[in-house]
A and B are shown apart, each in its own frame.
Chain A
Amino acid sequence: MKLSQGFRMAFKSVWSNKLRTALSMLGILIGVATVIALVGMGQGSQKEVEDQVASLGTNSLSVTISGRGTTTSLSLEDALALAEITNIEAVSPTVSGSATVKYEKTSTDVTVEGITGHYEVVNDFSVQSGRYIAPIDVRNTQKVALIGVDTAEELFGNEDPVGEVILVNGSRFTIVGLLEAKGSTLTGSNDEKILIPITTAQKMFDSVGVRSINIKVEDMDRMDATVSALEASLLETFRGDDSSYRVFNQEDAVETLNAVNETMNTMLLYVAAITLLVGGIGVMNIMLVSVTERTREIGIRKSLGAKRRDIMFQFLVEAVVISGMGGALGIGTGYLGSYIIGIADGTDTSVPFTTVIIAFAFSAFVGVVFGLFPANKASRLKPVDALRHD
């Protein structure tokens, strides 16, 4: 018997039992659709996270100071001295808090960060007009500010904010630069903030030292050595108490996020396997019913000269057709689902082509595996007994 003939016969038989076929397909369909939709969402969010992490830069380190006893922070001088360590390109200590900013009658609450000029290099965050915070601003505790694009728009509308004077917690600050648009990262919006000299910020928020330092490393490959040197230096400053500070590697962050994603994907795989298993059992069940129901048909076919492999092939192809069609419809449904979820959530979703292929191949494979037993059962029927069956 030819292959095409077998498929035609299987399709005919499957088609003549529409409701039953549809119901037994449902298990596979839902399984595959769920996987496709979730993979689509997962891929979308992974891409988003990766983009955000990439925007922070992987060649940077951040140090958080929690302190020891009464010493809860690092002095600004000590922080800046960390730049002496080899392979460190720039050190950017920050002091942050929130403040109310007012221009004429408009006021808003924003994040205020006290920075040094190195912030520009370390955070890769420059101005689009005006100038940056200069060392002299820091030294003289000047009341100058850089303004984020969103905050600028809120206070000034479309006017140029550079040169204007605003009130930050009641103090007058001159805006010297408009920051470039950077969007949101994991640490919050970059466009809704105000940057002022670190010394000015220390006075404003009444904080003596710095508790947060961002560091840019020159050579990525020597990252580990640099981290060790940095930790040794901090250990000395805090006199051997290694719980007073934490050095946080951006690369670690990426790894952590990837690990989380990996776990999610693995879980997804298990869910997929389980749903397809359940779907496969459904297909097997229906095929077994079909074999019993069509015992006479099998007897007739055998009496007319069907060999064991002909009968086996017929039922196997039917199982594969049911599960394969379930898989194909599941892919369509899942694709549609992920697209709709993407629109509803406003997130990116993307379904990789390989996933589609794997999902389809796997569902067809499920058909083979779970069709094998019923097909074998059918092929082993003795023609005499099968013909007598009603």
Chain B
Amino acid sequence: MTGAKQDALIEISNLVKQYVMGKETVTVLKGVSLHVYPGDFVAIVGPSGSGKSTMMNVIGCLDTPTEGSYKLDGTEVRGLSDDKLADIRNKKIGFIFQGFHLLPKLTALENCELPLIYRGLPAKQRRELALTALEQVGLGERVHHRPSELSGGQQQRVAIARALATNPPILLADEPTGALDMKTGQEVLGLMEELNRQGHTIVLITHDMDVAKRAKRTVVMRDGVLTEERRYGHEAEPRVQDGVQERLVEQA
């Protein structure tokens, strides 16, 4: 691990998240701890209902923890106002969603400009940054196309470019291949590996072990607890099969 001695980008300790549904309180995350260092490529795997979506919402500052601490790039997130959280999302996190979440009426370029608008950058600078990001994902030729005129893979590339445009310290990907076929899914994962090699820190959330394998590091989520943390070397050495763990993930 290159970043082991650096300060953690994401520092989650004993984090609890509860929801009140009707008269019952449901605890989704039951004391989770996780450290992510600069340059990491972490996959959070787990079956549906395990709490990984909640985990992703908390990491993405879309939701706030009930208890525990979450430090993002040194800032404690718990207890921040809605507007402060919006600011953090804008500056620190680049989202890559399963359903792409592009605005259908805007072109690829305008979609990439959107987070920069909310950052308050002037039009010229926005355009430059958005164009650079689109070229980085190999879509320099299709900047004026709308999402409906692009294939699924291309749409996800636009979404990745949008996440890159603000140059955030963390890319947060939620099932980025979920809506794509095998081949384009592999291409998108390849792109993410490439981005990681360039130094971007990536947190990937998935239920698919094959997707998780592409990450440098995998953590498994089950029933609101991060049960195991496994590390792989850089050289993608053949993994020692852990029967129990494998079954867990395959239930997903």
A–B Cβ pairs within 8 angstroms, 17 of them = A1-B117, A2-B120, A5-B117, A296-B101, A300-B101, A300-B103, A303-B89, A303-B95, A304-B90, A304-B118, A305-B87, A307-B118, A308-B86, A309-B83, A310-B118, A384-B62, A384-B63
Check A1–B118 contact: CB distance below 8 A: yes
- Residue in A2, A5, A12, A383 whose CB lies within 8 Å of B105: A12
Check A16–B101 contact: CB distance below 8 A: no
Q: Name the prevailing secondary structure of the B interface residues.
A: helix
Contacts of A383 in B (CB 8 A): 62
Shortest CB-to-CB span from B151 to chain A, Å, is: 20
Q: Name the prevailing secondary structure of the A interface residues.
A: helix
List the 6 closest A-B pairs by CB distance, nearest first: A305-B90, A304-B115, A305-B118, A307-B83, A307-B86, A383-B62
* B60 sits at the interface (CB 8 A): yes
Give a binary string over B51-80; 1 marks a CB under 8 Å from any A CB, 0 the rest: 000000100101100000000000000000
* A387 sits at the interface (CB 8 A): yes
Check B101–A307 contact: CB distance below 8 A: no
- Residue in B86, B102, B119 whose CB lies within 8 Å of A302: B86
Which size class do A's interface residues fall under? 20 to 34
- Residue in A1, A13, A16, A304 whose CB lies within 8 Å of B120: A1
Most chain A CB within 10 A, of B60, B105, B117, is at: B117
CA A384 to CA B62, docked complex, whole Å: 6
Check A297–B62 contact: CB distance below 8 A: no
Q: Interface size on B (CB < 8 Å)?
A: 26
* A102 sits at the interface (CB 8 A): no
Contacts of A247 in B (CB 8 A): none
In this complex, what residue of A is CB-closest to B56? A384
- Residue in B63, B82, B105, B162 whose CB lies within 8 Å of A304: B162
CA A302 to CA B83, docked complex, whole Å: 10
Contacts of B117 in A (CB 8 A): 1, 5
Q: Tell whether A304 pairs with B62 under 8 Å between CB atoms, given A1-B120, A12-B105.
A: no
* B91 sits at the interface (CB 8 A): yes
Check B83–A304 contact: CB distance below 8 A: no
* B114 sits at the interface (CB 8 A): yes
In this complex, what residue of B is CB-closest to A299? B101
Shortest CB-to-CB span from B143 to chain A, Å, is: 17
CA A2 to CA B162, docked complex, whole Å: 20
Using A5-B117, A5-B123 as known contacts, list a sample of 15 further A-B pairs with CB atoms less than 8 Å apart, ordered by residue number in A.
Answer: A1-B118, A2-B120, A299-B101, A301-B118, A303-B62, A304-B90, A304-B95, A304-B114, A304-B162, A305-B89, A305-B118, A382-B63, A384-B62, A384-B63, A387-B97
Contacts of A309 in B (CB 8 A): 83
CA A186 to CA B232, docked complex, whole Å: 103
* A288 sits at the interface (CB 8 A): no
A residues neighboring B (CB under 8 Å): 1-2, 5, 12-13, 16, 296-297, 299-310, 382-384, 387
Contacts of A16 in B (CB 8 A): 105
In this complex, what residue of A is CB-closest to B58? A384
Contacts of A299 in B (CB 8 A): 101
Contacts of A304 in B (CB 8 A): 89-90, 95, 114-115, 118, 162
Interface residues of B in 117-141 (CB under 8 A from A): 117-120, 123
Interface residues of B in 21-52 (CB under 8 A from A): none
Check B101–A305 contact: CB distance below 8 A: no
CA A303 to CA B103, docked complex, whole Å: 13
Shortest CB-to-CB span from B86 to chain A, Å, is: 5
Contacts of A384 in B (CB 8 A): 57, 62-63
CA A374 to CA B39, docked complex, whole Å: 43
CA A382 to CA B83, docked complex, whole Å: 12
Q: Tell whether A387 pairs with B90 under 8 Å between CB atoms, given A1-B117, A16-B105, A300-B103.
A: no
Shortest CB-to-CB span from B99 to chain A, Å, is: 9
CA A304 to CA B106, docked complex, whole Å: 15
Contacts of B115 in A (CB 8 A): 304-305
Check B103–A297 contact: CB distance below 8 A: yes
In this complex, what residue of A is CB-closest to B126? A5
In this complex, what residue of B is CB-closest to A380? B82
Check B62–A306 contact: CB distance below 8 A: no
CA A16 to CA B95, docked complex, whole Å: 27
In this complex, what residue of B is CB-closest to A300? B101
CA A344 to CA B118, docked complex, whole Å: 55
CA A12 to CA B118, docked complex, whole Å: 17
In this complex, what residue of A is CB-closest to B106? A12
CA A296 to CA B97, docked complex, whole Å: 13
Shortest CB-to-CB span from A347 to chain B, Å, is: 49
Check A306–B57 contact: CB distance below 8 A: no
Check B119–A305 contact: CB distance below 8 A: yes
Check B91–A303 contact: CB distance below 8 A: no
Check B89–A308 contact: CB distance below 8 A: no
Contacts of B114 in A (CB 8 A): 301, 304
Contacts of B89 in A (CB 8 A): 302-305
Shortest CB-to-CB span from B41 to chain A, Å, is: 22
In this complex, what residue of B is CB-closest to A390? B99
